[in-house]
């Protein structure tokens, strides 16, 4: 009788384990249902003060209210976002470590770095889309140009104009490459570790122009410390309605609209990913969060786990072709 009971218990355990595996629940349905039970680490793979940092802190604060646990921002800058996202890839797949991925880290970097610490197609679980940023072409006080036409004229007379970005392999770097290609000008890329140090040097005159994510540069543009020459989106930014697009300036092939989203490690239980996805969607739907992001030049946009995963894969293939044709390299 005891042997029979033991056998029945074992069969039940195996059946439960199989069911949990099918459902994608690493520790059973109760574990997913009880998630989260402790603080969540939200890795931002860039320095404080940039677009990813602003969006993560704004959305993370609302998520903390929804989930009932602190969402702790962990800035890990370097290697075009690879260092921070590698920390996410190597974390335990339990939902307590997620990262702010982007068009650069999860679609472009694998094509321009010779050695990647992770494979974005295998080492992450897509959690949810956050939206799109706007890239702005801006000039500092050291270069007295007021339009794209004036900048191009200056570049023709003085080849090798340096342009700063928040890092090699970023969407800003991609925009700079396309801008130089389509305008047939000689520009020299100067990568920084994030937007904050870039802006400091741009205002200080160490570099003459930059391609930066608008949320980070907008306060300085509004204060008159930097001059916005154009935005790289398909449409003008509501935050800078008087600033033309690169397409309006005659460079439609230089249009880039970077997207941002949240990823967890590979193997993240489906129920946990869905829980986090809902918390993200709730944050982006909140009028206060939405208004703050829009005012900063970021357009919030949510998507299901499946749709965000599909977007990541499509962009990986698309940007691979762009990077190879432009011979982009971050090494």
Q: Could you list the beta-strand ranges (E) of the chain.
A: 40-44, 71-75, 97-102, 124-133, 135-139, 161-165, 187-191, 209-213, 227-231, 259-265, 298-300
Strand partners, 133: 298
- ω into 323 cis (within 30 of 0): no
Would you state the CATH architecture of domain 135-254? Answer: 3-Layer(aba) Sandwich (3.40)
pLDDT at 228: 98
Q: Give pLDDT, residue 31.
A: 55
DSSP state of 165: E
What pTM was computed for the model?
A: 0.76
300-318 mean pLDDT: 95
pLDDT by residue (tens digit) across 237-261? Answer: 988 999 999 999 999 989 888 999 9
CATH superfamily of 39-132+258-326: Bordetella uptake gene, domain 1 (3.40.190.150)
Name the residue ranges covered by the structural domains of the chain.
39-132+258-326, 135-254
| pLDDT greater than 80 at residue 25 | no
For residue range 63-73, what is the model confidence (pLDDT) as tens digits?
999 999 999 99
Confidence of residue 14 (pLDDT cuts 50, 70, 90): very low
pLDDT at 169: 76
Is residue 254 a contact partner of residue 246, using CB atoms and an 8 Å limit?
yes
Q: What is the pLDDT of residue 314?
A: 93
């Amino acid at each position: 009788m005891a042997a029979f009971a033991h056998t029945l218990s074992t069969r039940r355990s195996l059946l439960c384990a199989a069911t949990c595996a099918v459902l994608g629940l690493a520790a059973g349905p109760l574990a997913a249902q009880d998630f989260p039970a402790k603080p969540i680490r939200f890795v931002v793979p860039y320095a404080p003060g940039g677009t990813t940092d602003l969006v993560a802190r704004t959305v993370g604060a609302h998520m903390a209210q929804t989930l009932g646990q602190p969402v702790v921002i962990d800035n890990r800058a370097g290697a075009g976002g690879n260092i921070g996202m590698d920390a996410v890839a190597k974390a335990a797949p339990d939902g307590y470590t997620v990262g702010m991925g982007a068009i650069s880290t999860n679609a472009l970097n694998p094509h321009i770095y010779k050695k990647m610490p992770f494979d974005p197609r295998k080492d992450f679980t897509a959690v949810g889309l956050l939206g799109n940023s706007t890239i702005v072409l801006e000039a500092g006080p050291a270069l007295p140009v007021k339009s794209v036409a004036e900048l191009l004229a200056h570049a023709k007379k003085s080849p090798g104009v340096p342009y700063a970005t928040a890092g090699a392999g970023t969407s800003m770097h991609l925009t700079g490459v396309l801008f130089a290609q389509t305008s047939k000008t000689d520009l020299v890329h100067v990568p920084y570790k994030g937007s904050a140090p870039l802006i400091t040097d741009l205002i200080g005159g160490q570099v003459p122009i930059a391609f930066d994510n608008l949320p980070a540069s907008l306060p300085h543009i509004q204060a008159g410390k930097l001059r916005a020459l154009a935005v790289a989106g398909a449409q003008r930014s509501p935050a800078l309605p008087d600033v033309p697009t690169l397409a309006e300036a005659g460079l439609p092939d230089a249009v880039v609209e970077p997207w941002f989203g949240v990823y967890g490690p590979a193997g993240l239980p489906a129920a946990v990913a869905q829980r986090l996805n809902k918390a993200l969607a709730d944050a982006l739907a909140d009028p206060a969060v939405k208004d703050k992001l829009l005012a900063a030049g970021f357009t919030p946009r949510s998507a299901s786990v499946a749709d965000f995963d599909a977007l990541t894969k499509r962009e990986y293939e698309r940007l691979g072709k762009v990077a190879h044709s432009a011979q982009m390299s971050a090494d």
